[in-house]
A = this chain, B = another copy of it.
Amino acid sequence: MSSLDAIRQQLLAFRDERDWKQFHTLKNLIISLNLESAELLELTQWKTDAQLDALKGDPGFREALRDECADVLLYLLLVADDAGIDLLDAARAKIAKNAARYPVEQAFGSAKKYTELKEAARKKE
């Protein structure tokens, strides 16, 4: 059992002790995942990259980041559980898909989307 799976089981026990599954429709869980992602984004609001680099060493800021990252992961585990998705398998498969979409020779040093890369490659031919 992976550590992520141990957390998943702890989380489901936490949920069931409180009888919360009744609120956890797929849509509600995904909404909550979005709200937690937004709380993470709020930590960066109005801040420059330099300010954020400095804040990474601030204990209060670090704890806030840690908590919001954890909240995103916990809702993601609940979404995946509800949909019967194995997150680790899904991540491995997605890295492989991305590797095919972004061949090193086209994507090196470029922030373009794969649809733009294809278009650029097509024009070059």
Query: What is the interface of chain A, defined by CB distance below 8 A to chain B?
Result: 2-4, 7, 10-11, 14, 17-20, 22-23, 25-28, 30-35, 37-38, 40-47, 49, 52-53, 56, 62, 65-67, 69-74, 76, 79-80, 83-85, 87-88, 90-95, 97-99, 102, 104, 107-111
Contact of A23 among B46, B52, B90 (CB under 8 A): B46
Task: Give Cα distance in the complex from A62 to B65, angstroms.
Answer: 30
Min CB gap A76→B, angstroms: 6
Task: Give Cα distance in the complex from A83 to B61, angstroms.
Answer: 10
Q: Are A52 and B34 in contact (CB under 8 A)?
A: no
Contact of A52 among B25, B74, B92 (CB under 8 A): B25
